[in-house]
Structure 1
Amino acid sequence: MRQCQHIKIGNLTHSKHKANISVNLTLPLVESRHQLKSIGKYYYDRRIVNVLFQKVNNPLKTFSVLEPGAPGTCRKGSAERVTVRESAKQKHCVLAISAGFFNIDTGECYGNIYSDGRLVSDSGGVQNAHFGITADGYIFAGYLSQQDLMTHRFTQLVGGVIWLLKEGEIYVDESIKNECSTPTTSMYPYVFPYSTLMLPVCHTNTLAIPETMYVIFSFSEKLTIIYPHFKRMDHINLKKFLILVTLREFASIQKSRVAVGHDKDGRILIAHVDVAKGNTGVDLHEMASILLDLGFVNAINLDSGGSATTVINGTLVSHPSDECPDKIFNCERQVTTILCVHEPECDPGDCSGHGTCEMGVCECSDHRSGPACDIQQCSPKCNQHGSTSAGAAQELLKSQHQSDQYRSYWLLSVVLGIIAAVSIIINILLLFIHLDVQR
């Protein structure tokens, strides 16, 4: 196995396409489609797979990469993993799909990650395919040096394994040669063909694996034995182990797959080949062919297998892979990062405390106006003789203040006049009293 290359500087192979931008919001936010696809070149390998296909029409306003549950949970040692449905609550995601790879022991998220303009994780130049959106309105797919991570000004970014499609052509074999295959994630395995491999089974027996078999350890407490050319599999109950396979064998395993990319019009596309537990999925070459038929131009492979999960409006629509605690039903696996499609957000999100955000537009209250509800309006009492500008509002307040002053002066004058009149009347009365006394 070659040494994984860390590239600090340099402009590495990548693709950038202008994201779809429209003046008015394009509805629906997500177009969801379902497809039953026939896969397999030969009759003995032919099978039908279930494809969940999503098209995001307003990627710059509605697409985010989210950490598990809350910001800050991707950090090393947090061991934070939650279900896709739980993470989707952060932004009330219309669509939420499992995304990046992660360390099953520490919960650390792998690859370079940006979430809403915030750098979450820096892989230090490790070479694996990435997908993201830049601040200047481009969709990015490809490889990054550590320098590129900063200069592209990402708003959203997630790492995967294998660049499936590059500019409309299948790129799987080239990616296998280029990408890092260090066994550091839940799906970065190695296959070990051993002459004799002794493994503990329930701490009492041992299992000998012949030289002609490959071994993959899985999370489902089963040891998977794969015979040459992957023609047959046996499953043996075991304790939990890390999955181990080479990058080429990883690309050849037929299982559930998730990919993210874009079409020629700059809309984000997401495909999930959803496979029920115990059924056969697709390898990455087959996945790339499916993506071509769906109109993908560029696409990268995300965390798949048992982690692959699709949630629409808070409802799980894919087959969950893991056994529930009740041992009766299947439950979705806890993962780390997700892709989230949500309603457009306002800036600021609280509309300056004077309105509510509706589909990215502030609906103002309290006699306020403007995109952020930060401009003071005249009240209806102005009888259409006021202005909605901030300067005019200030002039109105000044005028009202002056009127209050004049009113005070007038009242003072009236009071003084009354006092003077009373004083005169008193003096006249005193005069009459004095004259009567003299008589």
Structure 2
Amino acid sequence: MMLLSGVGSFLLFTCLDIQISAENVEELSEDFLTPYTKQHGSHLNHRQIRECQPAHYNGIPHEVIPSNTSAVLEPLIKRFIRKVGNRYVKGHYSIVSDPLRTISILEPKQVGGCELKIRETVANSATQRNCLLAINAGFFNTHTGACLGNLVSDGRKVHDSGGLQNTHFGITKNGSIFTGYLAEEEIQNGPGDFQQLVTGVGWILRNGQSFVNFSKYLECEDTEETGTVEKFVNVISARTVVGHDKEGRVVIVQIDGKTFYDG
């Protein structure tokens, strides 16, 4: 998954639940982008990532904005078809208000699903909260089923990345939206300020400007099963992106597609 921030900000995931749901590999076709198989995260530490930020970000490796607290609780979901170059792209986008009340990062199948290395479909995992919208989020080891990255579910720390750096999407306990990189100590001893948190790959848009090329430099170069981060970012495939708009609403964009198929 990748991240965006601001027109907001956006992150790219291969697929967000509003779940940390590891798909049952037996039910998957061969058409999916696989996550890390070696080190999950950047080869840089948090201090290096902070110091490497472009000057106009003043060394701040993340963005935090107040969320929209509109009383509209059901997500707005719209399908679209757009022409990009000489081909058409199909997908849908969802706009979610008041994320502190409406969004949960759920473990696969049940509480404790990550520790048990359970592999479960999004549809089945979504029944934990009777989700109106559920998408796959976060990465897992395709060989063992283990969840990867920093994960916080409903205020409970599920998994600690051990300080490895990748971009994150989160909802803080005061309802703000978090996008970007964070230090290990922020969740090492518990969920910290986060009510929900999930790790992705790639920060696409930051404050309305492209950040993807800089993000490729910050994040790990050679540890994905699919190939390098460069290949992961550029390969044609189904995609899911999560972020927020300038009004503080969470935006989820899902693109239909098939890996390597330019049709």
> What TM-score range do you get, normalising by the shorter chain?
0.7 to 0.9
2:253 to 268, 271, 280: 271
Mapped to 2, the partners of 1:274 and 1:53 lie a distance apart of 11
For the 8 Å contact 1:133–1:140, the answer to whether it is kept is yes
For the 8 Å contact 2:118–2:145, the answer to whether it is kept is yes
Uncovered stretches (5+) of structure 2, i.e. residues with no partner: 1-40, 51-58
Which residue in 2 is equivalent to 1:32? 77
Secondary structure of 2:128's counterpart equals coil
Mapped to 1, the partners of 2:192 and 2:211 lie a distance apart of 23
Mapped to 1, the partners of 2:112 and 2:220 lie a distance apart of 26
The structural deviation recorded for 1:58 is 2.2
1:255 equivalent in alignment to 2:237: yes
Mapped to 2, the partners of 1:270 and 1:3 lie a distance apart of 24
- The normalised TM-score by structure 1 is 0.46
Tell me: CA distance 1:36–1:68, structure 2 relative to 1, closer, same or farther (3 Å): same
**Per-residue displacement from partner, 1:352-404 (whole Å, max 9, x unpaired)?**
xxxxxxxxxxxxxxxxxxxxxxxxxxxxxxxxxxxxxxxxxxxxxxxxxxxxx
* Amino acid in the other structure paired with 1:108: A
The structural deviation recorded for 1:85 is 0.4
**Per-residue displacement from partner, 1:70-119 (whole Å, max 9, x unpaired)?**
011112xx331111100011010000001111101111111111000000
Secondary structure of 2:164's counterpart equals coil
Tell me: CA distance 1:156–1:169, structure 2 relative to 1, closer, same or farther (3 Å): same
The structural deviation recorded for 1:169 is 0.8
For the 8 Å contact 2:42–2:219, the answer to whether it is kept is no
1:246 to 220, 223, 228: 228
* Amino acid in the other structure paired with 1:100: G
Map residues 11-410 of structure 1 onto 2, 5 A cutoff. 13-22=61-70, 25-27=71-73, 29-40=74-85, 46-75=86-115, 78-149=116-187, 153-181=193-221, 183=223, 188-189=224-225, 243=226, 245-275=227-257, 279-280=261-262
- Structure with the larger helix share: 1
The structural deviation recorded for 1:152 is 5.1
For the 8 Å contact 1:26–1:57, the answer to whether it is kept is yes
Mapped to 1, the partners of 2:259 and 2:161 lie a distance apart of 32
For the 8 Å contact 1:31–1:54, the answer to whether it is kept is yes
Instruction: Between the two structures, name the one with larger relative contact order (CA 8 Å, sep ≥ 6).
Output: 2
**Per-residue displacement from partner, 1:244-281 (whole Å, max 9, x unpaired)?**
x1111221211111010011111110000012578438
Which residue in 1 is equivalent to 2:44? 5
Uncovered stretches (5+) of structure 1, i.e. residues with no partner: 41-45, 190-242, 282-439
Secondary structure of 1:88's counterpart equals helix
Mapped to 1, the partners of 2:141 and 2:259 lie a distance apart of 23
Query: C-alpha root-mean-square deviation of aligned residues, in Å?
Result: 2.3
Secondary structure of 2:104's counterpart equals strand
Mapped to 2, the partners of 1:131 and 1:166 lie a distance apart of 13
